[in-house]
Amino acid sequence: MSTVAAAGSQNLWFLSRGSGLVLLILFSAVIVLGVATRTGSAPRRWPRFAVAELHRTLSLFAVALLVLHVVTAILDPFVTIGWAAAVLPLASPYRTLAIGMGALAVDLSGAVLLTSVLRQRLGQRTWRAVHWLAYLAWPAAFIHSLTAGNDLGIWWVALAEVGSAAAAAAAVLARVFSRSRGEPPSGPPRPASAREVLRVR
């Protein structure tokens, strides 16, 4: 009986670790695609809507996988984390800070997800303000991946970590240095739109 239980516990552990690694790669891809959507810098042959839809689809898939990752980690009897630790950053008795980063990533991703689903209802300003939190969620998830897992010794895990970090960093730099679409060719700088400034109607 105990071997079965132990085997079950091992499966949960593998699932949690495996889903975690896939999540890191997925979220990094989502950031890259998000920046590509915003700056319109995908390969020319890719329709813009396809890039946008891929960003959306991958992020939804990532959220589903995130649920699996969190549930398997908490259900795993080998370590005691507790359900609250999934969303409250300092609630885990086991590796408090590392799990806490994960909880932070969950919270921020949850906010981004919720506002994106309700975007039409909430309006562009609110959606955009919350969406910026994605740039906080990724580092939180990354730090979590470095500190909460034990697999950095495996070469392809380390490679995935480095590759993900490089991709995300490149995306962020591209976003920072991209000219936003509308800069007039000459004349005075374009003022912010009245709508953004005034929160009109």
Partner 1 sequence: MNTVDSDRPGVNAAELRAGHLPRLLPARIWGGPASLAEHLARHGPLPAIGRDAGSRAEFIAEVGRAGLTGRGGAGFPTARKLHAVATGRDVPVVIANGTEGEPASAKDKVLLAREPHLVLDGAALAARMVGAPRAVVVVHDAVREIVDDAAAQRRRARLDRVRVTVMTAAGGFVAGEASALVNWVGHGIPLPTEVPPRVSERGLDGRPTLVQNVETLAHLALIARHGARWFRTLGTPAEPGSMLVTIIGAVHRPGVYETEIGRPVSEVLDLAGGPAAALAALLIGGYFGTWLDPATAGALPFSAAGLLAAGGSPGAGLVAALPADACGLTETARVARYLAAESAGQCGPCVFGLDSIAGELEALAAGRRFDQARLRRWLGQVDGRGACHHPDGAVHMIRSALDVFAAEIGRHARGWCRGTRSPGVLPVPPRRAP
Partner 2 sequence: MTGRARLRVDPIACDARGLCAEVLPELITLDDWGFPIILARDVPPGLRHEAAEAVRLCPTLALRLDHTARDR
Residues at the contact surface with partner 2, assessed by CB under 8 A: 37-38, 40, 47-49, 52-53, 119-120, 123-124, 180-182, 193-195
User: Are 64 and 113 in contact, with CB atoms under 8 Å apart?
Assistant: no
Of the residues 1, 4, 176, 200, which one makes contact with partner 1 according to CB under 8 A: 200
User: Are 163 and 145 in contact, with CB atoms under 8 Å apart?
Assistant: no
SS (H, E, C) the chain: CHHHHHHHHHHHHHHHHHHHHHHHHHHHHHHHHHHHHHHCCCCCCCCHHHHHHHHHHHHHHHHHHHHHHHHHHHHCCCCCCCHHHHCCCCCCCCCHHHHHHHHHHHHHHHHHHHHHHCHHHHCHHHHHHHHCCHHHHHHHHHHHHHHHCCCCCCHHHHHHHHHHHHHHHHHHHHHHHCCCCCCCCCCCCCCCCHHHHHCCC
User: Are 61 and 1 in contact, with CB atoms under 8 Å apart?
Assistant: no
Q: Is 10 in the site for partner 1 (CB under 8 A)?
A: no
* Residue 190 beta carbon to partner 1: minimum distance, rounded to whole angstroms: 4
CB nearer partner 1, residue 48 or residue 67: 48
Using CB under 8 A as the binding rule, the residues of this chain from 123 to 182 that contact partner 1 are 182
CB nearer partner 1, residue 48 or residue 173: 48
Q: Is 187 in the site for partner 1 (CB under 8 A)?
A: yes
Residue 71 contact, options partner 2, partner 1, none, Cβ 5-8 Å cut-off depending on partner type = none
Stretch that binds partner 1, among 30-38, 91-99, 131-139, 186-194 (CB under 8 A): 186-194
Residue 124 contact, options partner 2, partner 1, none, Cβ 5-8 Å cut-off depending on partner type = partner 2
* Residue 180 beta carbon to partner 2: minimum distance, rounded to whole angstroms: 8
Question: Helices 96-117 and 124-131, interaxial angle, to 10°?
Answer: 160
* Residue 168 beta carbon to partner 2: minimum distance, rounded to whole angstroms: 21
CB nearer partner 1, residue 43 or residue 188: 188
Using CB under 8 A as the binding rule, the residues of this chain from 49 to 68 that contact partner 1 are none
- Using CB under 8 A, list all residues that contact partner 1: 182, 184-191, 193-195, 197-198, 200-201
